Chain A
């Protein structure tokens, strides 16, 4: 695992692993993003998977939906941890950008991720 912020990607099904693989293929940077799936988990197990992935270090947790079991688990476990920020609506653009800015604070990185992710949504 590289120094700096950790990105934890929490999604339904196999989406997180696919996003992390795609981001790593594009950036060539590995070890910064950790995928977590909610498949087959009760809420306590999702929370435990997320906590293990964060590992007690400063992190941004990227969640797929702005509601639902992945967000609830992340917020339930992490909302009192000042060094962890949660961002919903994860997309590939924000993960790629995050990978190049892991030296920021969790708050700065989360705000950057929201801005980058929103800019990537267009209807050309």
Chain B
């Protein structure tokens, strides 16, 4: 079963992910790739509360995720991989042959970021990082909820 979605969303597991994407894509396994959460049992407990019992959820470090990418790509469950930052996603997919496409789902305002879409704020450095990811062969587009319409990275200014 392929990885159905690789999403960058700074809110990590929340309604748009569980009720929107996971349901519409028939996801069976949500993999949250975050070094801090992977080391924090209480944060994992909190995130589990957002996930219905029929969905599997895993909390893994970036290094573990890199090792297990082939397993998820060939496993029995449809997988949604989630990171909170562009940097983590870039580390995860660096030098991966045939990398899955990346969905920009929610990167919100903070100082230094500029609005690119209502749910997508990026610094110039972050935009450049995404363009490097694209140049490395990763398809990158933005779409907060299913059906909203994907916006290709190339059209973001």
In the assembled complex, the CB of B78 is this many whole angstroms from the nearest CB of chain A, namely: 21
Question: Which of the 9-residue segments A41-49, A99-107, A111-119 touches chain B?
Answer: A41-49
A68 in contact (CB, < 8 A): yes
A40 to B121: give the CA distance in the assembly, Å: 10
A44 to B107: give the CA distance in the assembly, Å: 12
In the assembled complex, the CB of B39 is this many whole angstroms from the nearest CB of chain A, namely: 14
- Are A68 and B108 touching (Cβ within 8 A)? no
- Residues of A near B11 (CB, < 8 A) are 42-43, 68-69, 72
B49 in contact (CB, < 8 A): yes
Q: A68-B14, A79-B42 are in contact. Are A41 and B108 (CB under 8 A)?
A: yes
Q: A42-B109, A42-B110, A79-B42 are in contact. Are A68 and B50 (CB under 8 A)?
A: yes
Nearest opposing residue in chain B for A73, CB measure:
B11
B10 in contact (CB, < 8 A): yes
CB 8 Å contact bits of A9-20 with B (1 = contact, 0 = none)? 000100000000
- Residues of A near B10 (CB, < 8 A) are 42-43
B41 in contact (CB, < 8 A): no
Chain B contributes a number of interface residues (CB within 8 A of A) equal to 18
- Are A45 and B109 touching (Cβ within 8 A)? yes
Chain A interface residue count: which class? Answer: 10 to 19
- Residues of B near A43 (CB, < 8 A) are 10-12, 84
A66 in contact (CB, < 8 A): yes
Q: Which 10 pairs show the lowest CB-CB distances between chains A and B?
A: A67-B50, A42-B108, A69-B11, A67-B49, A68-B14, A42-B10, A69-B14, A42-B110, A41-B108, A68-B15
B interface with A by C-beta (< 8 Å): 10-15, 42-43, 46-47, 49-51, 84, 107-110
21 A–B contacts from the bound complex (CB under 8 Å)? A40-B108, A40-B109, A41-B108, A42-B11, A42-B107, A42-B108, A42-B109, A43-B10, A43-B84, A44-B110, A45-B108, A45-B110, A67-B13, A67-B14, A67-B46, A67-B47, A67-B49, A67-B50, A68-B14, A71-B49, A72-B46
